[in-house]
């Protein structure tokens, strides 16, 4: 359900895919904390020999969540998208999401992700071939340009040619990476051009910011990425704020229990203690920076080398004596 421009009631929320972070285990964490309406998977790389990887199948079939799931595809050869899309018809998914926004240089050098914004005819061909060969809805995640926001109007005109289920707009350019100021005025432009729902994305860090952006842009929903790592309760908080209910504020014990769950995911992996600690740190460092940005907690977490050391640091910070 999409609610356009309303801050009283239901606001559509989506979890942005983040490589190595938005795994099935993390989605199970969000199931307990208060999950979004939709998850978009980490990208499935489309190439001549690509198939559906086991982690994507595990995500589709074994997650605790009852929320919708879309599978994101990353590639540039239209003919290979057709083959993968046909495979995905065997699974229950909400949509195929085309990645036209990843700004990472190592991705861009392969001509995929955000680099596709320099080849808009290729985007047209990919969408058309998926649409012509499957009945799966198609959505697009895009930036507002490759080098300049002035490119956005042309990008939107290409997207408007197709029947899309949604367009997710990260309101920065590809070259702007994550440092460029977010230009949410572009959401209004997208709303005026496209017939499908437009979802706003980019540095939305709190429930209040989500509400403010809905009011400012009339977006059909909010997509959140990094803020959900540091505060997995943010989707719950958005719903509570939209309904003028009491906002849940996690306690230190809530955070400690969360980190214990994250730690438990590594217990059965064949990794060294240092590797296990590094795996959990991907989640705990953003939490530490969020709850104690100027304190010793983030400093100590970055220097932990064993699971026990990491947990002791977290216990000392979060659990009252």
Distance CA 59, CA 61 (A): 6
Phi then psi dihedrals of residue 43, to 5 deg: -65, 145
The active-site residue, picked from 33, 102, 186, 314, is: 102
Distance CA 168, CA 221 (A): 9
Phi then psi dihedrals of residue 217, to 5 deg: -110, -15
Distance CA 99, CA 142 (A): 7
Q: Which two tokens stand for residue 255?
A: 């955070």
Residue 186 among the catalytic residues: no
Under the phi-then-psi rule, with left for phi > 0, alpha for psi from -120 to 50, and beta for the rest, what region is 46? Answer: beta
Q: Which two tokens stand for residue 128?
A: 């058309």
Under the phi-then-psi rule, with left for phi > 0, alpha for psi from -120 to 50, and beta for the rest, what region is 202? Answer: left
The residues carrying an active-site annotation are: 102
């Amino acid at each position: 359900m999409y609610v356009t421009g309303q801050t009283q009631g239901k606001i559509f929320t989506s979890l942005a895919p983040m490589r190595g972070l938005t795994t099935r285990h993390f989605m199970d964490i969000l199931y307990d904390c208060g999950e979004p309406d939709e998850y978009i998977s980490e990208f499935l790389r489309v190439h001549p020999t690509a198939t559906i990887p086991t982690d994507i199948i595990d995500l589709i079939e074994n997650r605790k969540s009852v929320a919708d799931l879309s599978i994101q595809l990353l590639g540039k050869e239209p003919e290979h998208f057709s083959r993968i899309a046909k495979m995905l018809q065997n699974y229950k998914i909400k949509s195929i999401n085309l990645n036209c926004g990843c700004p990472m240089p190592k991705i861009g050098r392969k001509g995929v992700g955000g680099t596709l914004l320099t080849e808009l005819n290729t985007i047209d061909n990919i969408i058309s071939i998926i649409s012509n060969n499957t009945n799966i809805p198609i959505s697009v995640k895009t930036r507002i340009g490759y080098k300049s926001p002035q490119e956005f109007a042309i990008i939107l005109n290409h997207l408007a040619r197709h029947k899309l289920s949604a367009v997710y707009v990260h309101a920065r350019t590809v070259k702007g990476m994550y440092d460029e100021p977010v230009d949410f005025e572009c959401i209004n432009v997208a709303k005026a051009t496209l017939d499908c729902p437009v979802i706003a994305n980019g540095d939305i860090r709190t429930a209040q910011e989500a509400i403010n952006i809905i009011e400012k842009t009339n977006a059909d929903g909010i997509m959140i990425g990094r803020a959900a790592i540091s505060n997995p309760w943010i989707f719950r908080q958005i719903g509570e704020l939209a309904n003028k209910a009491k906002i849940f504020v996690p306690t230190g014990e809530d955070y400690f229990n969360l980190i214990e769950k994250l730690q438990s995911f590594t217990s059965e992996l064949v990794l060294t203690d240092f590797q296990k600690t590094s795996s959990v740190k991907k989640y705990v460092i953003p939490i530490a920076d969020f709850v104690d940005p100027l304190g010793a907690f983030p400093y100590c977490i970055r220097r932990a080398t064993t699971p026990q050391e990491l947990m002791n640091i977290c216990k000392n910070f979060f659990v009252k004596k």
